[in-house]
Chain A
Amino acid sequence: MAEPNIIGGLLGGALIGLAAALLLLLNGRIAGISGILGGIIKSDATGERFWRMAFICGLMLGAALYAFMRGGLPLRMQAAGPMLILAGLLVGFGTRLGSGCTSGHGVCGLARRSPRSLVATMIFMIVAALTVFLTRHFF
Protein backbone atom coordinates (compact mmCIF):
# COMPACT_ATOMS: atom_id res chain seq x y z
CA MET A 1 0.00 0.00 0.00
CA ALA A 2 1.21 3.49 -0.83
CA GLU A 3 1.66 5.99 2.00
CA PRO A 4 -1.66 7.85 2.23
CA ASN A 5 -1.94 11.57 2.99
CA ILE A 6 -4.54 11.22 5.76
CA ILE A 7 -4.34 14.72 7.30
CA GLY A 8 -4.17 16.53 3.95
CA GLY A 9 -6.94 14.32 2.58
CA LEU A 10 -9.34 14.93 5.48
CA LEU A 11 -8.53 18.65 5.72
CA GLY A 12 -8.62 19.27 1.95
CA GLY A 13 -11.79 17.18 1.68
CA ALA A 14 -13.44 19.25 4.42
CA LEU A 15 -12.49 22.46 2.54
CA ILE A 16 -14.04 21.03 -0.65
CA GLY A 17 -17.19 20.07 1.29
CA LEU A 18 -17.31 23.51 2.93
CA ALA A 19 -17.04 25.16 -0.50
CA ALA A 20 -19.89 22.99 -1.84
CA ALA A 21 -22.05 23.84 1.20
CA LEU A 22 -21.29 27.58 0.89
CA LEU A 23 -22.15 27.62 -2.82
CA LEU A 24 -25.51 26.06 -1.97
CA LEU A 25 -26.16 28.37 1.01
CA LEU A 26 -25.09 31.63 -0.67
CA ASN A 27 -25.63 31.09 -4.40
CA GLY A 28 -28.18 28.27 -4.28
CA ARG A 29 -26.14 26.34 -6.84
CA ILE A 30 -24.55 22.88 -6.98
CA ALA A 31 -20.73 22.77 -6.95
CA GLY A 32 -20.36 20.29 -9.79
CA ILE A 33 -17.30 21.36 -11.73
CA SER A 34 -18.26 19.67 -15.01
CA GLY A 35 -21.69 21.34 -14.85
CA ILE A 36 -20.19 24.73 -14.03
CA LEU A 37 -17.73 24.42 -16.93
CA GLY A 38 -20.43 23.08 -19.26
CA GLY A 39 -22.68 26.01 -18.38
CA ILE A 40 -19.99 28.42 -19.58
CA ILE A 41 -19.55 26.55 -22.87
CA LYS A 42 -23.28 26.29 -23.46
CA SER A 43 -25.78 27.94 -21.16
CA ASP A 44 -29.51 28.40 -21.43
CA ALA A 45 -29.43 31.62 -19.41
CA THR A 46 -26.70 34.22 -19.99
CA GLY A 47 -27.00 35.50 -16.39
CA GLU A 48 -25.79 32.08 -15.23
CA ARG A 49 -22.47 32.47 -17.09
CA PHE A 50 -20.79 35.08 -14.90
CA TRP A 51 -20.87 33.31 -11.54
CA ARG A 52 -19.61 30.18 -13.30
CA MET A 53 -16.66 32.02 -14.83
CA ALA A 54 -15.93 33.60 -11.43
CA PHE A 55 -15.99 30.16 -9.79
CA ILE A 56 -13.56 28.65 -12.32
CA CYS A 57 -11.24 31.68 -11.94
CA GLY A 58 -11.42 31.17 -8.17
CA LEU A 59 -10.65 27.47 -8.56
CA MET A 60 -7.40 28.36 -10.33
CA LEU A 61 -6.59 31.17 -7.88
CA GLY A 62 -7.02 28.78 -4.95
CA ALA A 63 -4.57 26.32 -6.48
CA ALA A 64 -2.20 29.19 -7.31
CA LEU A 65 -2.35 30.41 -3.71
CA TYR A 66 -1.39 26.92 -2.51
CA ALA A 67 1.47 26.81 -5.04
CA PHE A 68 2.67 30.21 -3.82
CA MET A 69 2.57 29.11 -0.17
CA ARG A 70 4.16 25.72 -0.69
CA GLY A 71 6.45 26.48 -3.62
CA GLY A 72 4.57 24.40 -6.18
CA LEU A 73 1.68 22.05 -6.80
CA PRO A 74 1.73 18.27 -6.28
CA LEU A 75 1.45 17.16 -9.90
CA ARG A 76 2.78 13.87 -11.25
CA MET A 77 1.33 13.31 -14.73
CA GLN A 78 0.14 9.76 -15.46
CA ALA A 79 -0.46 10.03 -19.20
CA ALA A 80 1.04 11.94 -22.10
CA GLY A 81 0.34 13.05 -25.65
CA PRO A 82 -2.46 11.23 -27.49
CA MET A 83 -3.57 9.36 -24.34
CA LEU A 84 -4.00 12.68 -22.53
CA ILE A 85 -6.12 14.00 -25.42
CA LEU A 86 -8.21 10.82 -25.49
CA ALA A 87 -8.72 10.99 -21.71
CA GLY A 88 -9.76 14.65 -21.89
CA LEU A 89 -12.28 13.95 -24.66
CA LEU A 90 -13.79 11.03 -22.71
CA VAL A 91 -13.96 13.00 -19.44
CA GLY A 92 -15.63 15.97 -21.17
CA PHE A 93 -18.08 13.89 -23.18
CA GLY A 94 -18.89 11.48 -20.36
CA THR A 95 -19.50 14.14 -17.70
CA ARG A 96 -21.79 16.02 -20.09
CA LEU A 97 -23.76 12.91 -21.05
CA GLY A 98 -23.87 11.64 -17.47
CA SER A 99 -24.73 15.07 -15.99
CA GLY A 100 -21.84 15.21 -13.57
CA CYS A 101 -18.42 14.25 -12.27
CA THR A 102 -16.69 13.49 -8.97
CA SER A 103 -17.81 16.76 -7.37
CA GLY A 104 -21.36 17.03 -8.73
CA HIS A 105 -22.36 13.38 -8.29
CA GLY A 106 -19.80 12.35 -5.68
CA VAL A 107 -19.74 15.24 -3.20
CA CYS A 108 -23.03 17.12 -3.83
CA GLY A 109 -25.31 14.40 -5.24
CA LEU A 110 -24.60 11.95 -2.44
CA ALA A 111 -25.27 14.75 0.08
CA ARG A 112 -28.68 15.28 -1.58
CA ARG A 113 -29.30 11.53 -1.27
CA SER A 114 -29.79 11.38 -5.06
CA PRO A 115 -30.12 7.78 -6.34
CA ARG A 116 -28.87 8.93 -9.78
CA SER A 117 -25.69 10.30 -8.20
CA LEU A 118 -25.12 7.17 -6.13
CA VAL A 119 -25.41 4.98 -9.25
CA ALA A 120 -23.21 7.31 -11.34
CA THR A 121 -20.53 7.50 -8.62
CA MET A 122 -20.40 3.72 -8.21
CA ILE A 123 -20.20 3.21 -11.98
CA PHE A 124 -17.44 5.71 -12.69
CA MET A 125 -15.38 4.51 -9.70
CA ILE A 126 -15.61 0.86 -10.77
CA VAL A 127 -14.99 1.62 -14.48
CA ALA A 128 -12.01 3.85 -13.64
CA ALA A 129 -10.52 1.13 -11.40
CA LEU A 130 -11.02 -1.42 -14.20
CA THR A 131 -9.38 0.96 -16.67
CA VAL A 132 -6.37 1.33 -14.38
CA PHE A 133 -6.18 -2.44 -13.94
CA LEU A 134 -6.24 -3.01 -17.71
CA THR A 135 -3.78 -0.24 -18.57
CA ARG A 136 -1.33 -0.86 -15.70
CA HIS A 137 -1.40 -4.61 -15.18
CA PHE A 138 -2.71 -6.15 -18.36
CA PHE A 139 -1.43 -4.37 -21.43
Chain B
Amino acid sequence: MAAIVSALFIGALFGFGLAVSEMIDPARVIGFLDVTGTWDPTLLFVMGGALAVTLPGFPLILQRARPLLAEFFALPTQSKLDGSLIAGAIIFGIGWGIAGFCPGPALAALTSGSPGVALFVVAMIAGQWAGSLFEQQP
Protein backbone atom coordinates (compact mmCIF):
# COMPACT_ATOMS: atom_id res chain seq x y z
CA MET B 1 0.00 0.00 0.00
CA ALA B 2 2.83 2.41 0.91
CA ALA B 3 4.44 1.70 -2.46
CA ILE B 4 1.21 2.63 -4.26
CA VAL B 5 0.85 5.92 -2.35
CA SER B 6 4.50 6.78 -3.04
CA ALA B 7 4.03 6.00 -6.76
CA LEU B 8 1.06 8.41 -6.81
CA PHE B 9 3.07 11.25 -5.24
CA ILE B 10 6.19 10.57 -7.31
CA GLY B 11 4.05 10.49 -10.47
CA ALA B 12 2.63 13.89 -9.47
CA LEU B 13 6.15 15.28 -8.99
CA PHE B 14 7.10 13.94 -12.44
CA GLY B 15 3.98 15.40 -14.08
CA PHE B 16 4.50 18.77 -12.36
CA GLY B 17 8.11 18.75 -13.60
CA LEU B 18 6.96 18.05 -17.16
CA ALA B 19 4.67 21.09 -16.98
CA VAL B 20 7.26 23.40 -15.32
CA SER B 21 9.85 22.44 -17.95
CA GLU B 22 7.22 22.96 -20.70
CA MET B 23 8.11 19.53 -22.14
CA ILE B 24 4.34 19.01 -22.09
CA ASP B 25 4.25 21.55 -24.95
CA PRO B 26 4.89 19.89 -28.35
CA ALA B 27 6.05 23.25 -29.75
CA ARG B 28 9.00 23.24 -27.32
CA VAL B 29 9.94 19.68 -28.32
CA ILE B 30 9.61 20.27 -32.06
CA GLY B 31 11.57 23.50 -31.55
CA PHE B 32 14.44 21.49 -30.06
CA LEU B 33 14.35 18.89 -32.82
CA ASP B 34 14.21 21.57 -35.53
CA VAL B 35 17.98 22.11 -35.62
CA THR B 36 17.97 23.82 -39.03
CA GLY B 37 15.04 26.11 -38.11
CA THR B 38 14.57 28.39 -35.11
CA TRP B 39 16.29 26.00 -32.71
CA ASP B 40 14.99 25.98 -29.14
CA PRO B 41 17.53 24.47 -26.69
CA THR B 42 15.08 24.19 -23.75
CA LEU B 43 15.02 20.36 -23.92
CA LEU B 44 18.79 20.32 -23.34
CA PHE B 45 18.34 22.24 -20.08
CA VAL B 46 15.61 19.79 -19.04
CA MET B 47 17.85 16.78 -19.74
CA GLY B 48 20.70 18.58 -17.95
CA GLY B 49 18.54 19.31 -14.89
CA ALA B 50 17.27 15.72 -14.74
CA LEU B 51 20.67 14.09 -15.27
CA ALA B 52 22.24 16.42 -12.67
CA VAL B 53 20.06 14.54 -10.16
CA THR B 54 20.00 11.01 -11.60
CA LEU B 55 23.64 10.63 -12.74
CA PRO B 56 25.02 10.95 -9.18
CA GLY B 57 21.79 9.78 -7.50
CA PHE B 58 21.25 6.39 -9.16
CA PRO B 59 24.65 4.83 -8.25
CA LEU B 60 24.24 6.04 -4.65
CA ILE B 61 20.74 4.55 -4.39
CA LEU B 62 21.81 1.28 -6.03
CA GLN B 63 24.49 0.77 -3.36
CA ARG B 64 21.63 -0.11 -1.00
CA ALA B 65 20.68 -3.77 -0.54
CA ARG B 66 17.02 -3.02 -1.27
CA PRO B 67 14.65 -0.08 -1.84
CA LEU B 68 12.79 1.43 1.12
CA LEU B 69 9.28 0.27 0.20
CA ALA B 70 9.86 -2.84 -1.93
CA GLU B 71 11.61 -6.18 -1.70
CA PHE B 72 14.09 -5.63 -4.49
CA PHE B 73 15.29 -3.31 -7.26
CA ALA B 74 13.60 -4.29 -10.55
CA LEU B 75 16.12 -3.25 -13.19
CA PRO B 76 16.28 -4.02 -16.92
CA THR B 77 18.27 -7.21 -17.48
CA GLN B 78 18.92 -6.98 -21.22
CA SER B 79 22.37 -5.82 -22.21
CA LYS B 80 22.64 -6.69 -25.90
CA LEU B 81 22.29 -4.07 -28.62
CA ASP B 82 19.74 -5.98 -30.67
CA GLY B 83 17.64 -5.21 -33.73
CA SER B 84 14.50 -4.64 -31.64
CA LEU B 85 16.17 -1.85 -29.67
CA ILE B 86 17.41 -0.10 -32.79
CA ALA B 87 14.21 -0.58 -34.85
CA GLY B 88 12.10 0.50 -31.87
CA ALA B 89 14.17 3.65 -31.33
CA ILE B 90 13.87 4.54 -35.04
CA ILE B 91 10.09 4.02 -35.08
CA PHE B 92 9.66 5.98 -31.85
CA GLY B 93 11.86 8.78 -33.23
CA ILE B 94 9.66 9.16 -36.32
CA GLY B 95 6.48 9.38 -34.23
CA TRP B 96 8.10 11.79 -31.77
CA GLY B 97 9.24 14.02 -34.65
CA ILE B 98 5.77 14.10 -36.23
CA ALA B 99 3.76 15.17 -33.17
CA GLY B 100 6.32 16.37 -30.61
CA PHE B 101 4.81 14.05 -28.00
CA CYS B 102 6.56 11.24 -26.15
CA PRO B 103 4.61 9.06 -23.68
CA GLY B 104 5.04 11.08 -20.44
CA PRO B 105 4.08 14.51 -21.75
CA ALA B 106 1.17 13.05 -23.76
CA LEU B 107 -0.32 11.36 -20.68
CA ALA B 108 0.24 14.45 -18.51
CA ALA B 109 -1.31 16.69 -21.20
CA LEU B 110 -4.51 14.61 -21.14
CA THR B 111 -5.61 16.83 -18.24
CA SER B 112 -5.90 19.77 -20.66
CA GLY B 113 -9.00 18.09 -22.11
CA SER B 114 -7.64 18.57 -25.63
CA PRO B 115 -9.28 16.05 -28.01
CA GLY B 116 -6.04 15.91 -30.03
CA VAL B 117 -4.07 14.71 -27.00
CA ALA B 118 -6.71 12.06 -26.27
CA LEU B 119 -6.53 10.91 -29.91
CA PHE B 120 -2.74 10.60 -29.67
CA VAL B 121 -2.91 8.68 -26.37
CA VAL B 122 -5.51 6.21 -27.67
CA ALA B 123 -3.33 5.58 -30.75
CA MET B 124 -0.23 5.26 -28.52
CA ILE B 125 -1.93 2.61 -26.36
CA ALA B 126 -3.01 0.74 -29.51
CA GLY B 127 0.58 0.93 -30.76
CA GLN B 128 1.91 -0.43 -27.46
CA TRP B 129 -0.58 -3.27 -27.58
CA ALA B 130 0.47 -4.09 -31.16
CA GLY B 131 4.11 -3.96 -30.08
CA SER B 132 3.45 -6.39 -27.24
CA LEU B 133 2.01 -8.93 -29.71
CA PHE B 134 5.13 -8.55 -31.82
CA GLU B 135 7.28 -9.31 -28.76
CA GLN B 136 5.66 -12.70 -28.21
CA GLN B 137 6.62 -14.03 -31.62
CA PRO B 138 9.67 -16.32 -31.65
Q: How near does chain B come to A12, taking the closest CB pair, in angstroms?
A: 2
Q: Which of A9, A18, A37, A97 is in CB contact (< 8 Å) with B125?
A: A37
- Count contacts on B: residues with CB < 8 A to the other chain: 119
Whether A126 pairs with B93 at a CB distance below 8 angstroms is yes
Q: What's the nearest-Cβ distance from chain A to residue B76, in Å?
A: 7
Decide: A9 and B119 in contact? CB cutoff 8 A: no
Within B17-45, which residues are at the interface with A (CB < 8 Å)?
A: 17-31, 33-45
Give the distance to chain A from B104, nearest Cβ to Cβ, in Å: 4
Count of A-B residue pairs with CB < 8 Å: 505
Q: Which residues of A contact B104 (CB under 8 A)?
A: 33, 59, 101-103
Q: Are B52 and A17 in contact (CB under 8 A)?
A: yes
B interface, over-half SS: helix
> A130: which B residues are within 8 A, CB to CB?
93, 97
- Which among B42, B55, B103 has the greatest number of chain A C-beta atoms within 10 A? B103
Q: Which residue of A lies closest to B102 (CB)?
A: A102
> Which B residues are CB-close (under 8 A) to A96?
88, 127-128, 130-132, 134-135
Report whether A83 and B98 are in contact in the complex, using a CB–CB cutoff of 8 Å: yes
Given the interface pairs A16-B18, A31-B10, A54-B11, the reply to whether A107 lies near B50 with Cβ below 8 Å is yes
**Chain A nearest CB, measured from B112 CB (Å):** 5
Q: Which of A97-139 contact B (CB under 8 A)?
A: 97-99, 101-103, 105-112, 114-116, 119-121, 123-133, 135-137
Q: Are A90 and B67 in contact, CB atoms less than 8 angstroms apart?
A: no
- Give, as a whole number of angstroms, the nearest-CB distance from B131 to chain A: 3
- Chain B residue contacts of A84, Cβ below 8 A: 99, 116, 119-120, 123
Question: How far, in whole Å, are A77 and B99 apart by their CA atoms in the complex?
Answer: 8
Q: How far is the CA of A9 from the CA of B119 in the complex (A)?
A: 27
In the complex, what residues of A have CB within 8 A of residue B100's CB? 78-79
Residues on A with C-beta less than 8 A from B97 are 127-132, 135
Q: Which residues of A contact B66 (CB under 8 A)?
A: 28
A92 touches B24 (CB 8 A): no
Are A77 and B89 CB-contacts (below 8 A) given A17-B50, A58-B11, A131-B94?
no
22 contacts across the A-B interface (CB closer than 8 A): A4-B42, A9-B48, A10-B49, A12-B23, A17-B57, A21-B61, A24-B61, A28-B74, A33-B104, A38-B132, A59-B12, A67-B112, A75-B24, A78-B100, A81-B119, A91-B95, A92-B129, A97-B84, A97-B88, A107-B50, A119-B81, A125-B33
> Would you list the 6 A-B pairs with minimal beta carbon distance, nearest first?
A98-B88, A92-B127, A58-B11, A13-B49, A12-B21, A62-B15
